[in-house]
A = this chain, B = another copy of it.
Amino acid sequence: MSVVRTGVSLAAPHTTENTEASASWLNTILKGDCVAALEKLPSRSVDLVFADPPYNLQLGGDLHRPDQSKVDACDDHWDQFESFEAYDGFTRAWLLAVRRVMKPDGSLYVIGSYHNIFRVGAILQDLGFWIMNDIVWLKSNPMPNFRGKRFTNAHETMIWAVKSKDAKPTFNYDALKTFNEDLQMRSDWHLPICTGTERLKDKAGLKVHPTQKPESLLYRVLTASSRPGDVVLDPFFGTGTTGAVARKLGRHYVGVEREQDYIDAATARIAAIEPGDAASLEMQQSKRSQKRIPFGSLLESGLLQPGTELTCPKGRHLAIVRADGSLKSGDHTGSIHKVGALVQGQEACNGWTFWHIQDGRKKAPIDELRKEIRSRLQA
């Protein structure tokens, strides 16, 4: 096994607990078998894994288009397995190796088709992984079904899993929502397949790798489940789409690949990429990670006075602000959240959005005042 370095210098991982930013295996491609190569990595050192394992396609003879041209199928030797049992054993082995190097809250994405994805998913569950979502990549330009015997196979399936039910994986909800025109990102991703200049070709104009994934797919995976400086592992590196996108997005990568041709192509490809700088990588700030503002701060700052009257959105409930930062509404007293819940007879309530202050002729939630405090703190 040898190590190929592209000599990239990037920001330090956001946590260096188990990962030295200068570790020799960072931003390299490890040559060799996936399981053996991963033994070189320390345990709990990887934030995100993207895996595009062999699909175990069971092709019969050659497939020809209606014009009799031959379809350039994926018939490489690495995609051949003798049986489901052999494929299952292979899958279990690399998933266990990957599991060891994943951080406890790290994420794993595996992509596949109906030939293999059901086996992968069941084994994931058997090994104790916890599935967060399955995601379908819908191809806007899939290969048609030439024989007219099936539905056009227009999608692939990706499984997002974590190491255990209790894991708290990175999920950049707000960034994804902004990306998606202020709507929650869904489990169906409409993306074109990898063509044009993005598709690596050799000197003869033939595609270098039969199943090169589009960068847009990796872009979304990394944006969703990693942060700048994180370590992203791809145990089936191929022509390095994962490494290319990682470098663009300011993540570290580690690849494992057996074929020297793919390693050469990936190395050149990644070296040619301009690494993302910090400013352009800044993501939509998660609301959750913002500094917590106690309700009492509104009184301290003078944005609210004791005795001010708050109402619910419909004006049916009234409450008085008291000097200690508590509310009083009828017989109920306590925090803004507790009183909001009590007057509605509910178990819980977000007082920041429930209670409103009269602002001229309009009502405004007291959350507006919190935002004002936050903007003052930043200035």
Q: Please, how many angstroms separate the alpha-carbon atoms of A118 and B345 in the complex?
A: 35
Contact between A135 and B151, CB atoms less than 8 A apart: yes
Q: Which of B64, B119, B152, B155 contacts A184 (CB 8 A)?
A: B152
Check A154/B186 contact, CB under 8 A, given A68-B349, A173-B149, A344-B68: yes
Which parts of A312-346 form the interface with B (CB within 8 Å)? 344-346
A86 on the B face (CB < 8 A) = no
Contact between B187 and A154, CB atoms less than 8 A apart: yes
A132 on the B face (CB < 8 A) = yes
Q: How many of chain A's residues have a CB under 8 angstroms from any CB in B?
A: 57
Q: Which of B117, B149, B347 contacts A171 (CB 8 A)?
A: B149
Stoichiometry, copies per complex: 2
Which parts of A126-176 form the interface with B (CB within 8 Å)? 126, 131-136, 138, 142, 144-145, 148-155, 157, 159-160, 171, 173-174, 176
A207 on the B face (CB < 8 A) = no
Identify the closest chain B residue to A134 (Cβ): B114
Contacts of A150 in B (CB 8 A): 132-133, 160, 171
Contacts of A171 in B (CB 8 A): 148-150
How far, in Å, is A90 (CB) from chain B's closest CB?
Answer: 14
Which parts of A99-124 form the interface with B (CB within 8 Å)? 113-115, 117-122, 124
User: CB within 8 Å of B: which residues of A?
Assistant: 64, 66, 68, 84, 113-115, 117-122, 124-126, 131-136, 138, 142, 144-145, 148-155, 157, 159-160, 171, 173-174, 176-177, 181, 184-188, 190, 224, 344-350
